[in-house]
Amino acid sequence: MGDDGFEVTFWGVRGSTPTPGAATAGFGGNTSCVEVRAGGQRLILDGGTGLRELGEALRPTGPLDAHVLFSHVHWDHIQGLPFFAPAYEPSSKLVLHGGVRAGRTLEDALRGQMRDPYFPVRFDEIAASLRFHELAERERLTLDGGVVVHGLEGHHPGGVFAWRIEWKGHALVYATDTESTPATDAVMVELARGADVFIYDAQYTPEQLAGSDGRGARHGWGHSTMMDGARLSREAGVGTFVLFHHDPFQDDDAVLAKERRAQASFERSVAAREGMTLDVLRGREGA
C-alpha cells in the first residue's frame, strides 16, 4: 500500500489468553494486535501474541519505523513484544505510546515482563531505537502525512485507552477491553462518532455477561457484549462495527453465532479474524 491508503489488518483478535487449536483456527487464537496503515504511517495497536505474526510478516521488508499504541498493559496486550523480530533490528525505530497506570509507566511494565525469572532475554537486549511517550487523555498526536491520533479512557480494571486514528476526513476507532456503562457509553459514542470502522470489545454474549452459561457473571471484569457494540455503532453512526477480543471459551461456531446476532441489530457488523484486512476509505474487506 502506498501513501494514499488507509487500511487495518488484524493479527490477533482473541482476549484474555491465547487459544490455539482446531476449534479456534477459523477466527484465530492470538491475542490483541492490530496493524493500521494510513498516509504512509504504520501504527500497531497493542502487542499481544499476534505481534509475533506481524513481525514475521515484516521481516523481509527490513528495518521498521512504526508507532505502537498500547491500550493497557495486561499480559494479553503486551506478551508478543519479546518475540517481535523487528525489535531486534538495530535500524528499526519504534515509538511506544501508553498511559501511566497505578504509578507505573509503560516502560516499567514492558521491562518487568522480561525480567528474570519471567523471561530469558532482557529488555535491554532489544536493539531497535525505542522512544516512550506517556499519553494524557485527549492529547492529540499529529504524525507525518497528516495522521492524527487521540485517546479517551474506557472502563477496565487498571484503566484503558481507546484510540481514534484520523486521516483525510476518515477515522478508525479501536476500543478494546472496556465495559459498557452509561458513562462509558457516552465516552465511546463521542470517540466513535462518524467513524468508518469501529473496533469494539465484544468479548461476551449477553448470556456470558449475566453468568447464565454456568461460569458465573462477568460484571465488573471490564468487557462488553456484541450487542453493546451494535447499539453503540447505531448511536455513533459508524460505518462498520468490528467485534473484537473474542472470549477464550468461544470456538469458531460461537464467534460466528455472535457475529450473526450483532448483524441482526447492526447490519454492518463483522467479527474480527486473523488475517482480515479492511479498507477504511471504502468500507470493505480487502485482500
What domains does the chain contain, in order, with CATH numbers? 6-277 (3.60.15.10)
Q: How far apart, in Å, are the Cα atoms of 107 and each of 9, 58, 137? A: 26, 24, 18
173, 197 Cβ separation under 8 angstroms? yes
Kindly list the strands in the beta sheet with 284-285, ordered across the sheet, starting from the edge strand earlier in the chain: 129-134, 93-98, 65-69, 41-45, 33-38, 6-12, 277-279, 284-285
The Cα 124–Cα 134 span in angstroms is 20
| Spans of the chain below 50 pLDDT | 287
Beta bridge partners of 14: 31, 246
Q: Is the dihedral of CA 219, 225, 231, 234 positive or negative?
A: positive
Predicted pLDDT of residue 287: 42
H-helix or E-strand containing 135?
A: none
Please name the residues in contact with 243: beta carbons below 8 A apart, sequence gap of 6 or more: 200, 202, 226, 229, 255, 258, 259, 262, 269, 270, 271, 272
Which residues contact residue 182 at a Cβ distance below 8 angstroms, ignoring those fewer than 6 apart?
none
Q: Are 273 and 244 in contact (CB under 8 A)?
A: no
> Can you read off the three cell numbers belonging to residue 147?
495522521
pLDDT of residue 3: 74
CA angle 158, 190, 135 (to 5 degrees): 45
pLDDT value, residue 234:
98
> pTM of the prediction?
0.96
